[in-house]
Structure 1
Amino acid sequence: MHKFITRYFSANQQRLELLYIAFRKHKKTDPEWSKRLFKLFWSGLVQHIEWDQRLLFPVLQTHNEPQLNELIDKATDEQKQLKEQIQWVFNLTENSLDSHDEEQRLEYLLSDHFENQEFNLYPACDRLFDVNAVTYLIEKLAQSTTPPSD
C-alpha cells in the first residue's frame, strides 16, 4: 500500500486535467461536445473534492498537528476558489460568452491545487494512514465509484 493515496488521487487528478484540456480543445470546433466534457470535468472534480473532505481530511484531523491543519485549510480554500471559478466559467460558456481569460485562471488554480495536493497533502496521508485507514478508504472509494446494480 506504499503511496496508494498519492497514486490513486494523482491518477484521478490527471483524468480531470485531461477532461479539462479536451473541453478547451473542442470549444470552438464542437461547442456541444465541449460543454459535455466540461460537465464531466465539473462533476468529477466535485466528487474528488468530496473524497478529500469526507474521507481524507477527517483522518488527518485526528492527528491534530498544526502543519496538517494548515494543509487542510489551504486545500479547503483552494477548493472553494475552484468551485467559484468553475461556476463562473460554466455561466460564461452556457451563455456563449468569451471565457478564455476565466478558463486560463481556472487552469492555473487547478494546477496549483493539484500540485499542492500531490506533493504535500497526499504524501502526508500515505505517511500517516495505517493499513486499516487505507483499507477503509479503498472500500469507500469503491462504493462511490461503483454504478448501482439493477
Structure 2
Amino acid sequence: MNKFITHYFSANQQRLELLYIAFRKHKNRDPEWAKRLFLLFSCGLEQQIAWNQALLFPVLQAHNDSQLNELIHKAIDEHQQIKDQVSWVFNLTEKGLESHDDEQRLEYLLSDHFENQEFNLYPACDKLFDVNAVTHLIEQLASYNQTASQ
C-alpha cells in the first residue's frame, strides 16, 4: 500500500489535466467536442474535490495536527478558487466569448493545486494512513463511485 494515495489521486489528476489540454486544443477547431471535453473535465474535477473533502480530509482532521489542518485549509481555499474559475470559463465558453486568459488562469490554478496535492497532501495521507485506513478508503471510493453513477 506504499504511496497508494499519492499514486491513485495523482493518476486521476493527470487524467483531468489531459482532458483540460484536449479541451483547449479543440476549442477553436471543434467547439462542440471541446464543450463535451470540458464537461468531462469539470465533472471529474468535482469528483476529485469531493473525494478529498469527504474521504481524505476527515481522516486527516482526526489527527488534530496544525500542519495537517493548514494543508486542508489551503486545499479547501484552492478548491473554491478552482470551482469559481471553472464556472467562469464554462460560462464564457457557453456564450462563445473569448476565454483564453481565463483558461490560462485556470491552468495555473490547477497546476499549483495539483502540485500542492501531489507533493504535500497526498504524501501526508500515505504517511498517516495504515493498511486498514487505505483499505477502507478503497472501499469508500468504490462505494462513492457506485452511488455517483446511479
Q: TM class, shorter-chain normalised?
A: over 0.9
Question: Cα distance, 1:141 vs. partner?
Answer: 1.0
In structure 1, the partner of 2:57 is: 57
In structure 2, the partner of 1:119 is: 119
Letter in 1 for 2:94: E
Q: Is the partner of 2:141 in helix, strand or coil?
A: helix
Does residue 19 (structure 1) correspond to residue 19 (structure 2)? The answer is yes
State the alpha-carbon separation in 1 of the partners of residues 52 and 144 from structure 2. Answer: 13
- Any residues of structure 2 matched to 1:22-61 within 5 Å, and which? 22-61=22-61
Question: Cα distance, 1:142 vs. partner?
Answer: 1.4
1:99-141 deviation digits (Å, cap 9, x = unpaired): 0000000000000000000000000000001111101100111
In structure 2, the partner of 1:130 is: 130
Does residue 92 (structure 1) correspond to residue 92 (structure 2)? The answer is yes
In structure 2, the partner of 1:76 is: 76
In structure 2, the partner of 1:102 is: 102
5+ residue gaps, structure 2: none
1:45-77 deviation digits (Å, cap 9, x = unpaired): 000000000000000000000000000000000
TM-score by length of structure 2 reads: 0.97
Q: Is the partner of 2:63 in helix, strand or coil?
A: coil
State the alpha-carbon separation in 1 of the partners of residues 44 and 10 from structure 2. Answer: 13
State the alpha-carbon separation in 2 of the partners of residues 136 and 111 from structure 1. Answer: 29
Give every structure 1 segment of 4 or more consecutive aligned residues whose post-TM-superposition deviation is greater than 4 Å.
none
State the alpha-carbon separation in 2 of the partners of residues 92 and 53 from structure 1. Answer: 28
Letter in 2 for 1:93: T
Letter in 2 for 1:67: Q
State the alpha-carbon separation in 2 of the partners of residues 133 and 11 from structure 1. Answer: 20
TM-score by length of structure 1 reads: 0.97
State the alpha-carbon separation in 2 of the partners of residues 144 and 31 from structure 1. Answer: 32
